Amino acid sequence: MTILVIAEHDNKVLAPATLNTVAAAAKIGGDIHILVAGSNAGAVAEAAAKVAGVSKVLLADNAAYAHQLPENVAPLVAELGAGYSHILAAATSNGKNILPRVAAQLDVDQISEIISVESADTFKRPIYAGNAIATVQSSASVKVITVRATGFDPVAAEGGSAAVEAVGAAHDAGKSSFVGEELAKSDRPELTAAKIVVSGGRGMQNGDNFKHLYALADKLGAAVGASRAAVDAGFVPNDMQVGQTGKIVAPQLYIAVGISGAIQHLAGMKDSKVIVAINKDEEAPIFQVADYGLVADLFEAVPELEKLV
Partner 1 sequence: MKVLVAVKRVVDYNVKVRVKADNSGVDLANVKMSMNPFCEIAVEEAVRLKEKGVATEIVVVSIGPSTAQEQLRTALALGADRAILVESADELNSLAVAKLLKAVVDKEQPQLVILGKQAIDSDNNQTGQMLAALTGFGQGTFASKVEVAGDKVAVTREIDGGAQTVSLSLPAIVTTDLRLNEPRYASLPNIMKAKKKPLEVLTPDALGVSTASTNKTLKVEAPAARSAGIKVKSVAELVEKLKNEAKVI
Q: Which residues from 198-257 bind partner 1, rule CB under 8 A?
A: 220, 228, 231-232, 237-239, 244-245, 247, 252-253
Question: Site residues for partner 1, window 93-112 (CB under 8 A)?
Answer: 93-94, 96-105, 107-112
CB-nearer residue toward partner 1: 32 or 196: 196
Question: Site residues for partner 1, window 31-90 (CB under 8 A)?
Answer: 67, 69-71, 74
9, amino acid identity: H
Cα distance between residue 294 and residue 276, in whole Å: 8
Residue from 82, 140, 164, 233 in contact with partner 1 (CB under 8 A)? 140
CB-nearer residue toward partner 1: 42 or 100: 100
Instruction: Give least dist CB 230 to partner 1, A.
Output: 13
Residue from 13, 63, 127, 166 in contact with partner 1 (CB under 8 A)? 127
Instruction: List Cβ neighbours of 56 (8 Å cut-off, separation of 6 or more).
Output: 31, 33, 34, 162, 163, 165
| DSSP letter, residue 140 | -
Instruction: Give least dist CB 293 to partner 1, A.
Output: 5
Instruction: Give least dist CB 270 to partner 1, A.
Output: 7
Question: Site residues for partner 1, window 265-284 (CB under 8 A)?
Answer: 270, 273-276, 282
Instruction: Give least dist CB 245 to partner 1, A.
Output: 6
Cα–Cα distance list, 273 to 5, 90, 99, 170, 206 (Å): 28, 22, 30, 44, 29
- Segment near partner 1 (CB under 8 A), from 21-29, 53-61, 128-136, 158-166? 128-136
Using DSSP's 3-state secondary structure scheme, residue 294 falls into strand
Cα–Cα distance list, 40 to 12, 208, 243 (Å): 8, 40, 34
Using DSSP's 3-state secondary structure scheme, residue 224 falls into strand
Cα first-last separation, the chain? 49
CB-nearer residue toward partner 1: 50 or 101: 101
- Segment near partner 1 (CB under 8 A), from 29-37, 127-135, 159-167, 203-211? 127-135
188, amino acid identity: R
Residue 136 contacts residue 105 (beta carbons within 8 Å): no
Instruction: Give least dist CB 88 to partner 1, A.
Output: 15
Bridge partners of residue 57, in order along the sequence: 34, 164
Bridge partners of residue 147, in order along the sequence: 90, 114
Instruction: Give least dist CB 200 to partner 1, A.
Output: 17
CA-based radius of gyration for the chain: 21
Using DSSP's 3-state secondary structure scheme, residue 271 falls into coil
66, amino acid identity: A
Cα distance between residue 4 and residue 32, in whole Å: 6
Tell me the number of residues near partner 1 by CB under 8 A: 89
CB-nearer residue toward partner 1: 15 or 49: 15
CB-nearer residue toward partner 1: 163 or 183: 183
Residue from 92, 150, 227, 260 in contact with partner 1 (CB under 8 A)? 92
Cα distance between residue 63 and residue 170, in whole Å: 9
Does position 173 bind partner 1 by CB under 8 A?
yes
